[in-house]
Amino acid sequence: MAPKAVLWDIGNVIVRWNPRTLYQEIFKEPAECDRFLSHVCNMTWHVAHDLGVTFADNRAPLLEQFPQYADAIHAWETRWWDMFSGPIPETEAAIEALHAAGVPQYGVTNMSHETFPGTVAMSPAFKRLADYVVSAHVGLLKPDPAFYARACDQFGLAPADVLFFDDSAANIASAREFGFDVHHFTDPAGVRPALEARGLL
C-alpha cells in the first residue's frame, strides 16, 4: 500500500547542522577541534539536550571537568546557530510541491525544546508541516519505536501510511522495522525521485 503522508526529520534533512561548522572557527588546529568534539562536547553528551535537559544544566559538569574549555563549552549554546549552514533547497522544494499536491506532512526530530522554535523559523517550508513530535517535549528519542508510535498516535496515522525521511541509518532501520516506508537521506537529489516513485508527486 502506497504511503499517504510524509514525515520529515529536521537536522540534515531540512536544514544543515554540524557542530564542526562552529568549532572549526573556534579551534584553529584540526586535532584540537577533533579532541574537543570527541571528548568534551560530544554527541553522547548532547543527547541530554534532546531529552529536555537545559543547556545550562547540561554544561555545568563539563565546566567543572574542563575549565580550560569554558568559553568553547558555553559556545554550544551562545553560538548554537553558527552550527547551521542553512536550509537544504531540494527538501524545501519537495515540501512545497507536496503541499501543493495536498499531501499531509509532519516533522519528527531529536531536538532541544530550547532550540526548536528558532530552528523552525529558518525556512518557510516549516510552515507547511502540520504538526511535530519533538524529543524534548515527549521524553523519547529516535530510534526508539515508542517515538514512532507516539508520532502515529499524535498525527492520526498508521505505520503503513507513512514515508519517513531521515539522515540516520539507525533511525531508518528502526523505522522500517516499525512499519514505515523509509528513505535514507544521503543526497538531496534523491528526495524528489523517492516521492515520485511512490506516487506522492
79 within 8 A of 141, measured Cβ to Cβ: no
C-alpha cell at 121: 523559523
Q: What is the SS3 string spanning 18-74? A: CHHHHHHHHCCCHHHHHHHHHHCCCHHHHHHHHCCCCHHHHHHHHHHHCHHHHHHHH
With 0-12 / 13-18 / 19 or more C-beta atoms within 10 angstroms meaning exposed / middle / buried, residue 10 is buried
Amino acid at 18: N
Only one residue has cell 526548536, namely: 116
**Cα(149)–Cα(117) distance, integer angstroms:** 23
Tens of pLDDT, residue by residue over 166-177, are: 999 999 999 999
Q: What is the pLDDT of residue 1?
A: 76
pTM of the model: 0.95
Tens of pLDDT, residue by residue over 23-65, are: 999 999 999 999 999 999 999 999 999 999 999 999 999 999 9
**Cα(132)–Cα(147) distance, integer angstroms:** 12
- 132-134 and 105-109 as β-strands: parallel, antiparallel, unpaired? parallel
